[in-house]
């Protein structure tokens, strides 16, 4: 069975949750397994809602506008689009940059049942590069878990989670790295703090409620993975994840470098243990109290101090 899937039958892994919660790190760790090849952010079913602006259309919606999968002409239009795609979905869907043969991809799509599920599956297979377990890491898919588990019965879901105040400070620090964005932040001042913190709080409370629902509906296929547990006790945290998937925890999975950190350069060795508490030294006390006011019951529920 291991040459086809995980020991418990898993063939797909979906990493979901808010940004800045360790989803990239989790994907990197799992991809160090010989069995797992998880793609990046496909945004296939949705994008996260953005406070004060309209969310970008999902890739599923964009492709539906390109053509009808049930017709040969529609399939051709969609494949042509995929091999010229640009924009924010570039990394996952830019098959030309991955040296995927467009004729071969077109033939595989024609030979499938031509469903949206089949298209998504083919895309994930390209990222798996022959590994038996495939998947993707799209934060907004947290709101579409029932759909994903219906499409892929042999799938499991890893929900990466983190203290919302740490998420907020990580997002803010990441934005401040760009010169133009720093100028914008100084200009917006308190207004930015209010809008940005509310955006984090609203979505964090949404995904917290999703966790309660999914842990009840899918107890054997869904796992909450707290960022704080992952960096402070990676072996214990990763064993839970590997047990869910049905793969062995190997030594290379425990030796990581920092990726996509708001504070440290990429390539720094080891798990960033200081990231668990670093936000406390940077957050405005008023913003901290603002989070505590709105999120207090849920912070306590997940073991975070208030």
Residues 6+ positions from 253 with CB-CB distance below 8 Å: 29, 30, 32, 33, 238, 242
> Quick check: is 67 in a domain?
no
> Quick check: is 94 in a domain?
no
Instruction: Average the pLDDT over 120-145 and give the result.
Output: 96
From the CB of residue 87, how many other CB atoms can be counted at a distance below 10 Å?
Answer: 10
β-bridge partners, 157:
14, 222
In whole angstroms, what separates CA 73 from the centre of its chain?
33
> Quick check: is 178 in a domain?
yes
> Quick check: is 88 in a domain?
no
β-bridge partners, 155:
12
Which backbone phi and psi does 56 adopt, to 5 degrees?
A: -65, 145
> Quick check: is 105 in a domain?
no
Q: Is the pLDDT of residue 4 over 60?
A: no
- Return the CATH number at 29: 3.40.50.300
Residue-wise pLDDT tens digits, 207-226: 999 999 999 999 999 999 99
* pLDDT level of residue 57 (50, 70, 90 thresholds): confident
> Quick check: is 163 in a domain?
yes
Q: Which two tokens stand for residue 289?
A: 């109290």
Q: Is the pLDDT of residue 262 over 80?
A: no
**Number of structural domains the chain divides into:** 1
| Domain region containing 136 | 12-56+114-301
> Quick check: is 125 in a domain?
yes
> Quick check: is 293 in a domain?
yes
Please answer whether residues 41 and 139 qualify as being in contact, where contact means their C-beta atoms are separated by less than 8 angstroms. Answer: yes
Global model pTM greater than 0.85: yes
Quick one: pLDDT at residue 267?
60
Residue-wise pLDDT tens digits, 173-210: 887 765 444 445 555 566 667 777 998 999 999 999 99
């Amino acid at each position: 069975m291991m040459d086809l899937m995980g020991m418990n039958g898993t063939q797909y892994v979906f990493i979901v949750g808010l940004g800045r919660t360790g989803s990239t790190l989790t994907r990197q760790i799992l991809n160090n397994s010989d069995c797992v090849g998880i793609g990046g952010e496909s945004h296939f079913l949705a994008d996260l809602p953005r406070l004060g602006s309209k969310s970008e259309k999902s890739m599923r919606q964009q492709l539906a506008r390109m053509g009808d999968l049930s017709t040969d002409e529609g399939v051709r239009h969609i494949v042509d689009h995929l091999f010229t795609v640009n924009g924010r979905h570039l990394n996952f869907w830019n098959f030309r940059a991955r040296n995927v043969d467009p004729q071969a991809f077109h033939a595989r799509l024609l030979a499938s049942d031509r469903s949206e599920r089949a298209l998504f599956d083919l895309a994930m297979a390209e990222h798996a590069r022959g590994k038996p377990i495939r998947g993707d890491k799209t934060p907004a898919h947290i709101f579409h878990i029932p759909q994903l588990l219906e499409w892929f019965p042999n799938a499991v879901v890893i929900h990466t989670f983190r203290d919302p105040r740490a998420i907020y400070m990580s997002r803010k620090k990441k934005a401040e790295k760009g010169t133009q964005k720093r100028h914008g932040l100084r200009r917006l001042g308190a207004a930015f703090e209010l809008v940005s913190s509310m955006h984090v709080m609203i979505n964090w409370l949404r995904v917290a409620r999703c966790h309660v629902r999914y842990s009840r509906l899918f107890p054997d296929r869904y796992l909450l993975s707290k960022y704080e547990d992952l960096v402070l006790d990676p072996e214990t945290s990763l064993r839970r994840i590997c047990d869910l998937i049905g793969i062995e925890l190997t030594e290379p999975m425990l030796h990581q470098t920092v990726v996509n950190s708001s504070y440290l350069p990429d390539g720094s060795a080891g798990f960033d243990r200081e990231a668990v508490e670093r936000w406390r030294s940077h957050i405005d006390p008023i913003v901290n109290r603002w989070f505590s006011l709105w999120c207090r019951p849920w912070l306590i529920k997940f073991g975070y101090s208030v």
